[in-house]
Chain A
Amino acid sequence: MKKIIWFFICSYLSISSMKVIAHQKLADVESPRFSSAFSAGYVFKNDCRFKDVYGLGMVNIITGDFVYYPWDFWGIGVKTSYWRAKGRTTFLNFCTKLEEIPLTFTVRRLLIFKNNLEFYASLGGGIIWMREKSQLEKIKMLKGIGEVELGLNYPICNHLKITTAFRYLFPRQFLGNTKIDVGGLDLRAGFELAF
Chain B
Amino acid sequence: MNESYKLMFLKSNCLYFAIILTFCNSLYISAVVINRIIASIGVGDTPSGIAITPNGRFAYIANSNNDGLVNGNTVSVIDIETNKVIKTISDSSFDQPYTVTINASGTKAYVTNSNSTTISIIDIKTNSVIGVITGFDGPSGMVITPDGNTAYVNNYGSPAGVGSANATTVRVVNLVTNLIIGPAITVGLAPASLDITPNGSYVYVINYVDGNVGTGTISIIKTASNTVVGTITGLFGPYSIKITSDGLYAYITNFGSNDFSPVGRTVSVVDLHENSIVDTIFVGIQPSGIAFSPNGRFAYVTNYNTLYLGAGFTDLTPGQGTVNIIDMCTNKVLCQELLTGSSPAVIAISLDGRYAYVVNYSANSVSVIDIYDKMWLNVCK
Contact = CB atoms under 8 A, between A and B. Distances in A.
B380 A96 contact: no
B299 to A, nearest CB: 13
Interface stretch (B197-205, B341-349, B370-378): B370-378
Interface in B292-315: 295, 297
Interface string B35-50: 0100000000000000
A49 B376 CA distance: 6
A92 to B, nearest CB: 5
B325 interface: yes
Size band of the interface chain A makes with B: 20 to 34
B14 to A, nearest CB: 32
Nearest to B372: A91
Contacts of B381: 139, 175-176
Contacts of B370: 91
A132 B379 contact: no
A136 interface: yes
A137 B379 contact: no
Given A91-B336, A92-B334, A92-B336, A132 B380 contact: no
Contact of B380 (A54, A87, A98, A177): A177
**B-side interface mostly:** loop
Interface in A116-136: 130, 132, 134-136
Nearest to A139: B377
A89 B380 contact: no
B335 to A, nearest CB: 8
Given A91-B336, A137-B295, A175 B380 contact: yes
A139 B378 contact: yes
A136 B375 contact: yes
Interface string B314-335: 0000000000010101000010
Contacts of A91: 36, 336, 370-374
A180 B380 contact: yes
A132 B373 contact: no
Contact of B373 (A87, A136, A141, A177): A136
A98 B334 contact: no
Contacts of B379: 49, 175, 178, 180
Given A136-B297, A137-B295, A89 B373 contact: yes
Interface in B105-162: none
A90 B374 contact: yes
Contacts of A175: 377, 379-381
A52 B372 CA distance: 14
A180 B381 CA distance: 12
Interface string A84-128: 000101111110101000000000000000000000000000000
A185 interface: no
A141 B380 contact: no
Given A91-B336, A92-B334, A137-B295, A178 B380 contact: yes
A96 B378 CA distance: 12
A52 B374 contact: yes
B332 to A, nearest CB: 12
The listed residue with most B CB atoms (<10 A of its CB), out of A92, A132, A139, is A92
A176 B336 CA distance: 29
The listed residue with most A CB atoms (<10 A of its CB), out of B36, B325, B334, B376, is B376
Given A91-B371, A92-B325, A92-B336, A98 B376 contact: yes
Nearest to A92: B373
A47 interface: yes
Nearest to B34: A91
A176 B379 CA distance: 9
Interface of A: 47, 49-50, 52-54, 87, 89-94, 96, 98, 130, 132, 134-137, 139, 141, 175-178, 180
19 contacts: A49-B376, A50-B376, A52-B376, A53-B374, A53-B375, A89-B373, A89-B375, A90-B373, A91-B336, A91-B371, A91-B373, A92-B373, A94-B373, A132-B376, A132-B377, A135-B329, A175-B377, A178-B380, A180-B380
Interface of B: 36, 295, 297, 325, 327, 329, 334, 336, 370-381
Given A136-B373, A178-B380, 11 more contacts: A52-B376, A53-B376, A90-B374, A92-B334, A92-B336, A94-B373, A98-B376, A132-B377, A135-B329, A136-B375, A136-B378
